[in-house]
């Protein structure tokens, strides 16, 4: 039956991927531990705002945790590279879980406001769970770049799913049970998942000890990639705030979550397909160009229709550019970063994304308040265009260096313009 051969062909790379020994076990643990990443923020806001009657306080506490994560993340990742995943990730996770429980108790017992900031800051020791999983794939599949492409696509899809389902689960738990339920369940899932993940020692990358390898920040090609991740994070942050403001303006604020979920759904579908197709020459510039073009669709839909559901459909399409862009950029980071500092390199990516999300949220909120939610949809388009400009400028700079005979410093599998599978601009 020819109709059945197509889906089988598309699923074949994933079946081969998880046929490798140990991959299903560490993936199961990773997914359990990763789901709370989309739960903690919503749970903390509901819990704090419900008890203290202040969304401003709740937002300030979660923002402090975000800033602390951006600072602590690379440090924890550096320890993981040096001492191994299990030796560092488990105690770091226990510390983060204790921070979540301390926050719950401080809220429940009416402790001073400053204790909420201190407790939530302790959760910044949560390891970059997606980065740990990607590092395992890079270790297991070091001799199979096609399979690594499929694995990176799966990981990006898993990120999207967890950040799409996490807030939904947290909202259900805090509404159906009690305000602290989201935090309790999230902490339990994080601890259980990390223990299961860390127990899979056969697939764990070996610890590298102290290394003389340069910091990823000084590795050629990494700084402009991190700048691209900051701009990409601004796309996500601004799109979320602007969509909520737009839905509120249409009298459908409660539907904002479902609308944003469509963007994540589009990214999930594109990520799975991208991992199965294995393009022969993925180029970051093409992905960024597609993302810039598709991110303009919600703006056009909002301006021309004035309804909520046209931008919702546009977000579904726009989300399809997200996963290919993230997969291609993450693969570049994996190949450019020194092997013994891989976790640190991927943690810096998360720091860049978080920084961009914070900046994008602020910019989107400012535009929505001082112009209009419709006009504010220009913020994610501008951020995507900025990422494209950064990448194009880097490519032009590399081309200029080649023109005057300056040797390139690219890594294996990286073209001289910093693009995967390309040898020229």
| Listed residue (351, 373, 252, 352) closest to 301, CA to CA | 373
How many other β-carbons are positioned within 10 Å of the β-carbon of residue 191? 20
CA gap 164, 175 in Å, rounded: 18
Query: Given this chain, do its domains 15-207 and 216-425 carry the same CATH topology?
Result: yes
Q: What is the CATH number of domain 216-425?
A: 1.20.1250.20
Region 187-210: mean pLDDT is: 84
- 100-158 pLDDT per residue, tens: 899 999 888 888 888 888 888 888 888 888 888 888 888 888 778 778 878 877 887 88
Instruction: Name beta bridge partners: 420.
Output: 414
Site of tokens 């560092």: 88
pLDDT of residue 211: 59
Query: Which stretch of 284-293, 334-343, 413-422 has the lowest confidence by average pLDDT?
Result: 413-422
Residue 49 · residue 55 · CB < 8 Å: yes
Cβ-count burial 289-307 (b if 16+ within 10 Å, e if not): bbbbebbbbbbebbeeeee
Q: How far is CA 339 from CA 130, 209, 211, 216, 222, in A?
A: 17, 12, 10, 10, 14
Region for residue 206 given its phi and psi (left: phi exceeds 0; alpha: psi -120 to 50; beta: otherwise): beta
- 161-180 pLDDT per residue, tens: 777 777 777 777 877 788 88
Write down the mean pLDDT value for the chain. Answer: 78
- 369-419 pLDDT per residue, tens: 788 888 889 989 999 999 999 888 776 545 544 544 444 444 444 443 445
Residue 373 · residue 249 · CB < 8 Å: yes
Structural domain boundaries in the chain:
15-207, 216-425
The top-scoring range by mean pLDDT among 76-85, 284-293, 328-337 is: 284-293
Region 188-206: mean pLDDT is: 87
The answer to pTM > 0.75 is no
Region 348-372: mean pLDDT is: 80
User: The tokens of 321 are what?
Assistant: 């550019």
State whether residue 199 is helix, strand or coil: coil
CATH among 3.40.50.280, 3.90.1570.30, 2.120.10.30, 1.20.1250.20 for 15-207: 1.20.1250.20
Residue 59 · residue 45 · CB < 8 Å: yes
CA gap 292, 385 in Å, rounded: 6
State whether residue 420 is helix, strand or coil: strand
Region 261-285: mean pLDDT is: 75
Region 241-247: mean pLDDT is: 79
User: The tokens of 14 are what?
Assistant: 């994933």
How many other β-carbons are positioned within 10 Å of the β-carbon of residue 245? 22
Q: Report residue 98's pLDDT band, with 50, 70 and 90 as the boundaries.
A: very high
CA gap 379, 372 in Å, rounded: 12
Region 252-277: mean pLDDT is: 76
Residue 264 · residue 319 · CB < 8 Å: yes
């Amino acid at each position: 039956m020819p109709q059945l051969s197509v889906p089988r062909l598309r699923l074949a790379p994933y079946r081969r991927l998880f046929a490798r020994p140990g991959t299903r076990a560490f993936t199961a643990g990773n997914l359990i531990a990763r789901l709370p990443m989309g739960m903690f923020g919503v749970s903390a806001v509901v819990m704090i705002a419900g008890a203290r009657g202040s969304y401003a306080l709740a937002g300030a506490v979660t923002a402090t945790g975000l800033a602390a994560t951006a600072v602590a993340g690379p440090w924890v990742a550096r320890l993981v590279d040096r001492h191994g995943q299990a030796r560092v990730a488990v105690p770091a996770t226990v510390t983060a879980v204790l921070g979540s429980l301390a926050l719950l108790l401080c809220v429940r017992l009416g402790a001073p406001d400053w204790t909420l900031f201190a407790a939530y800051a302790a959760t910044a020791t949560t390891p970059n769970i997606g980065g740990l999983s990607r590092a395992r794939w890079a270790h297991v599949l070091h001799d199979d770049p096609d399979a690594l492409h499929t694995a990176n696509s799966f990981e990006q899809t898993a990120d999207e799913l967890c950040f799409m389902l996490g807030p939904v689960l947290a909202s259900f738990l805090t509404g159906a049970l009690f305000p602290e339920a989201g935090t309790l369940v999230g902490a339990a899932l994080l601890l259980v998942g990390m223990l299961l993940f860390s127990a899979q020692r056969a697939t764990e990358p070996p610890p590298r000890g102290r290394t003389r390898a340069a910091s990823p920040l000084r590795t050629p090609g990494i700084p402009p990639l991190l700048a691209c991740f900051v701009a990409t994070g601004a796309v996500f942050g601004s799109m979320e705030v602007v969509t909520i403001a737009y839905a509120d303006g249409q009298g459908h604020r409660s539907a904002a979550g479902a609308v944003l979920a469509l963007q994540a759904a589009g990214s999930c579908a594109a990520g799975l397909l991208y991992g199965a197709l294995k393009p022969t020459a993925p180029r970051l510039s093409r992905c960024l160009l597609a993302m810039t073009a598709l991110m303009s669709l919600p703006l056009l839909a909002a301006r021309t229709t004035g309804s909520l559901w046209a931008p919702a459909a546009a977000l579904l399409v726009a989300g399809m550019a997200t996963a290919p862009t993230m997969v291609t950029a993450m693969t570049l980071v994996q190949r450019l970063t020194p092997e013994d500092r891989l976790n640190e390199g991927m943690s810096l990516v998360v720091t860049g994304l978080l920084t961009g999300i914070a900046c994008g949220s602020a910019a989107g909120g400012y535009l929505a308040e001082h112009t209009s939610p419709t006009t504010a949809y220009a913020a994610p388009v501008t951020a995507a265009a900025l990422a494209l400009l950064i990448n194009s400028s880097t490519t032009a700079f590399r081309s200029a260096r080649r023109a005057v005979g300056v040797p390139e410093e690219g890594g294996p599998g990286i073209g001289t313009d910093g693009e995967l599978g390309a040898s020229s601009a």
